[in-house]
Amino acid sequence: MTENSLVPELVDSHCHLDFPDFDGQLTALIDRARTAGVKRMVTICTRLKNEPQVRALAEAHDGLFYAAGTHPMYAADEPLVAVEELVALASHPKFVGIGETGLDYHYTADSAAQQQESLRVHIEAARRTALPLIIHARDADEDMARILTEEYRAGAYACVLHCFTSGAELARQALDLGFYISMSGIAAFPRSTQLREIFAEVPLERVLVETDAPYLAPPPHRGKRNEPAFVAHTARAGAEVFGLSPAEFAAATTANFDRLFSKASP
């Protein structure tokens, strides 16, 4: 529980607080998050040229950590990152994850080869740093499962499939590798019955929660700009999926975050 309240303590494991949607509003946004019980957040840099600005945000705010990588949708536009570049970033005390990286064939299938090459670089950096790999997967389940499995057999690494909306088979294969699966506001949408059924089969000790802010706000804020405070709404939906109280689900997902993102653990 948070201090001086009965609000369950939560972590927003994935948001994008450097995006222009939040310009000039970060202090108020973080205050609202803390009031909602969200005491820690991981803000994700999606283009490495923006890493200095994202790092500065993390340095300026208690409870704010960061990760960096090349988002798969930008893989064809950005220079291919070197493993050594990602490894060097990991020396920062608030740098806690590698990515997001992954595969997105929904809008950018024409860059599949570049995305796969970039993904493998990020996986090697995750191995070398022992930091968790943060995966974005969209309309690429078969290739994603193949590459994650091939690379794991070549050398173990930790991983979370963020904002999971893929199929049950990719979830199963990721869990078989010991990976985590993160629940976003999409899981709280009324029509996301099939997604909630997939999550219901995930071991509780492998589930995280996130906003992916400024995107994908859960009800009752759907269609509006998302922010870390709203992860509490997704967590309530998750608690229902697992038949737990909000406090029980919050405690479980926070413990899971601390296990995976151990560098951000109190």
Tens digit of pLDDT at every position of the chain (266 positions): 444 457 889 999 999 999 999 999 999 999 999 999 999 999 999 999 999 999 999 999 999 999 999 999 999 999 999 999 999 999 999 999 999 999 999 999 999 999 999 999 999 999 999 999 999 999 999 999 999 999 999 999 999 999 999 999 999 999 999 999 999 999 999 999 999 999 999 999 999 999 999 999 999 999 999 999 999 999 999 999 999 999 999 999 999 999 999 999 98
What H or E segment, with its residue span, contains residue 39?
strand 38-45
CB 155 within 8 A of CB 210: no
**CATH superfamily of the 10-264 domain:** Metal-dependent hydrolases (3.20.20.140)
At residue 149, what are phi and psi to the nearest 5 degrees?
-70, -45
**Alpha-carbon span 157 to 110, nearest angstrom:** 28
- The residue assigned the tokens 């070549």 is 154
Tokens coding 47: 């283009």
Tokens coding 67: 């990760």
DSSP string, 84-102: HHHHHHTTSTTEEEEEEEE
